[in-house]
A and B are shown apart, each in its own frame.
Chain A
């Protein structure tokens, strides 16, 4: 059994006061989940606290908080990635993993044995003291690994964590959907599809749980 690791997140940095599934089930931030200093302890499933800090810092450079709006930190992207890696996806439960493992032409896609868990663990290690570097140093480091499988996963997962349904741990407070004007999985646009032509129509975002009235069953929670 691994030691329980937590990510300490300042609440002010997260999207809103309504946090989704951060402790395994949806809850409203209560005073007891808050630290005295306005922080919340999020239990980690895969990363160590140190690893989570490195990944959070890297995701923030990929999708930064800037004058165009919030970024990976506010959306809780690192929490999303932690859960993905701990789940069946991270363990390659749904990938064909029988040998022999051979390198092939690029048209055959990723053919190596390393799972997402293994790729992250090694990739994070190679980033060393990343979290404590100034941002221009961080960008240089990421630029240098741009073509690696690790960076490609990190970039893809950052976008996923920004805009996924909040039951997966990212898009906290629907901050990503607000940023791009996505309404979430609404049940009907029957009366809207042929209206608003040429004009931006942005209904208020709602999560799957808000729409169906039931908690979702994210795949990463499967054993």
Chain B
């Protein structure tokens, strides 16, 4: 074990949240900041050579190496968990920029009521009508507190979109159901595709309120407040699972690294696999990590910021024995609680005319929020508490992945001449109308350490205990009815029928939105970190990212994770560094 020269702040993880924290701290304080990232360095110039569907979209070349570390999953306490042996339902990133390099770019704010969801649901339905196993909680922070920080994050990335609620004034063409915004989006919406235009027209006729997906894919050249200039999107169709080859999609490497690289109080250590947060007498004293060549290091630090992906935030706290692991039977302990994913369902629609769908952008699309939160449906008497957004996105069809999309039953076999001809007939004639729904938190869905399986170092893997409940099935059943209505209005053929009430599976991609485990809240009894994302038991440890979300939103998590990071950084800069003790 080599002891390194102390730093003021050690940040674990070089993705959106870790590098954003580093940017704020190095700009506004004299703290020396070191970021420790497992993966490799990345830059925009590398990405043109990666526009290869097979290696990047299918073999997932940018993701964490699952051979080195994975998670295990079981559906309930009665089952034994098995490892996720190949990626499926979500895709953890690695390397500088993390999953922020290969994300789609959806950049929403959460609905204001999500931050006080427990209070909201009790007020609306009464505690007696809520499912007994519901674990949703208020966050300890409100939409109004985050609004200016949402705006800062939107400016940083140059989010393209259209406001629908500007200081309380509802604006047609934007999302009229969103919380009030103080400013219009930094850049106008992306262009429409043929398919997204048809969706927009149809939902408009049905009386819904379509709006363009707010996207980190720039619609035009943009210079952000830090002086970083990026070009408009080229609609090349290589966003999700790829890095952007021109820097039009906001990524940590094109918005944060150019600034950080110039700062003298910043250092980035790639190839550094943090194994433990070392602590003594209730304070973190540094981190222990393994370098790329296997050498062990101890990095002393006055403050530690844990900013890795949700999975590793929880796992590293558990491995470091910080906090008390949640026990779902006794309902004691907080670490690992409130694990949520995303509730989705998609209806495949088929058109007469070709779509030229190889063109697109990560989040080019139109959507409606008429059923978001608990807007637009009656509620608890049907057992449906919350729903989500319904959208059609044109993110760029790739030739392998889109081959064979055809109406159900159109070919008897899924190979051979008839199948080939039918596949060719429907090639470029289909799109998906998807629902992205809130996933509520439940007492039985949680994370802990697996008793059997280990990572490449022999440390226990993180174990998920997670399954869908009746509420998620109801969300899907409701959503497919709306999707069918829209498909009919679009004049499209579609596969009808309710989705299966099937258990959670680790095979089909759902989203890389994994939340909870180190949730924020109002007291150490119900949360791991306080509203400033400061650990309740270890005041010089901050745990940032979607691990802090007590439940998931329908909206993609990145922008909220960034706003929370800024909220934490402001408290650290204005109060914590002067007196590095509990802020509450």
Query: What residues of chain A have their CB less than 8 Å away from a CB belonging to chain B?
Result: 61-64, 66, 68-69, 71, 89, 92-98, 100, 102, 104-111, 139, 142, 155, 158-160, 162-165, 167-168, 176-177, 179-183, 185-190, 192-194, 196-201, 208, 211-212, 214, 216-219
Contacts and interface: CB of A to CB of B under 8 A. Distances in A.
Contacts of B454: 98
11 contacts: A109-B85, A160-B58, A162-B403, A163-B53, A164-B53, A168-B54, A187-B245, A189-B237, A194-B193, A196-B194, A196-B356
B129 interface: no
Contact of B399 (A69, A109, A177, A217): A177
A200 B416 CA distance: 26
Given A96-B84, A109-B86, A219-B55, 11 more contacts: A63-B415, A94-B59, A95-B67, A182-B399, A190-B232, A190-B233, A190-B235, A192-B356, A193-B193, A194-B192, A196-B194
A208 B51 contact: yes
B235 A188 contact: yes
A199 B353 CA distance: 7
Given A109-B85, A188-B235, A193-B235, A94 B67 contact: yes
A193 B360 contact: yes
Nearest to B356: A201
A181 B357 CA distance: 11
Given A107-B504, A155-B414, A160-B54, A100 B452 contact: yes
B329 interface: no
B194 A181 contact: no
Given A107-B75, A187-B236, A198 B194 contact: yes
Contacts of A167: 52
A177 B397 CA distance: 13
Nearest to B197: A197
Nearest to B88: A109
Contacts of A93: 67
A92 B193 CA distance: 39
A64 B424 contact: no
Q: What are the 4 tightest A-B residue pairs by CB atom distance, in nearest-first order?
A: A185-B51, A107-B505, A188-B234, A163-B399
Given A95-B86, A193-B193, A66 B417 contact: yes
Nearest to B86: A95
Interface string B474-485: 000000000000
B439 interface: no
Instruction: Indicate the member of A62, A63, A94, A96 with the most B CB atoms within 10 Å.
Output: A96
Nearest to A99: B453
Contacts of B236: 185-189
Per DSSP, are chain A's interface residues mostly helix, strand or loop, or mixed? Answer: loop
A98 B54 contact: no
B70 interface: yes
A164 B400 CA distance: 7
Contacts of B428: 180-181, 200
Interface in B416-451: 416-417, 420-421, 424, 427-428
Contact of A185 (B52, B88, B415, B506): B52
Contacts of B82: 102, 104, 108, 111
Nearest to B232: A190
B354 interface: yes
B358 interface: yes
Given A100-B452, A163-B400, A187 B67 contact: no
B59 A197 contact: no
Interface of B: 48-49, 51-55, 58-61, 65-67, 70, 73, 75, 80, 82-86, 88, 191-194, 197, 232-238, 245-246, 353-354, 356, 358-360, 364, 399-400, 403-404, 414-417, 420-421, 424, 427-428, 452-454, 502-507
Given A94-B59, A190-B234, A200-B354, A216 B49 contact: yes
B417 A96 contact: no
B86 A180 contact: no
Nearest to B51: A185
Contacts, number: 176
B52 A208 contact: yes
Instruction: Indicate the member of A109, A185, A193 with the most B CB atoms within 10 Å.
Output: A193
A208 B238 CA distance: 13
Instruction: Indicate the member of A69, A108, A186, A218 with the most B CB atoms within 10 Å.
Output: A108
A165 B53 contact: yes
Contact of B86 (A110, A159, A163, A200): A110
A89 B235 contact: no
Instruction: Indicate the member of A100, A163, A185, A197 with the most B CB atoms within 10 Å.
Output: A185
Contacts of A108: 73, 82, 84, 505-507
A68 B424 contact: yes
Contacts of B61: 219
Contacts of B360: 193
A114 to B, nearest CB: 12
Contacts of A98: 83, 453-454
Contact of B49 (A71, A179, A214): A214
B533 to A, nearest CB: 31
A99 to B, nearest CB: 9
Contacts of B356: 192, 196, 200-201
A155 B413 CA distance: 12
B70 to A, nearest CB: 4
A183 B358 contact: yes
Nearest to A179: B424
B415 A142 contact: yes
A180 B427 contact: yes
Contacts of A201: 356
A93 to B, nearest CB: 6
Contacts of A192: 235, 356, 359
Contacts of B60: 94
A162 B67 CA distance: 28
A139 B415 CA distance: 10
Contacts of B424: 68-69, 179-180
B358 A182 contact: yes
B428 to A, nearest CB: 7
A127 B82 CA distance: 32
Nearest to A103: B82
B246 to A, nearest CB: 8
A146 to B, nearest CB: 8
B118 to A, nearest CB: 30
Contacts of A211: 48, 51
B234 A189 contact: yes
A165 B65 CA distance: 23
A61 B194 contact: no
A62 B415 contact: yes
A163 to B, nearest CB: 4
A92 to B, nearest CB: 8
A94 B65 contact: yes
B359 A61 contact: no
A93 B75 CA distance: 28
B96 to A, nearest CB: 19
B531 to A, nearest CB: 37
Contacts of B415: 61-63, 142, 155, 158
A218 B55 contact: yes
Contact of B85 (A69, A106, A110): A110
A25 to B, nearest CB: 16
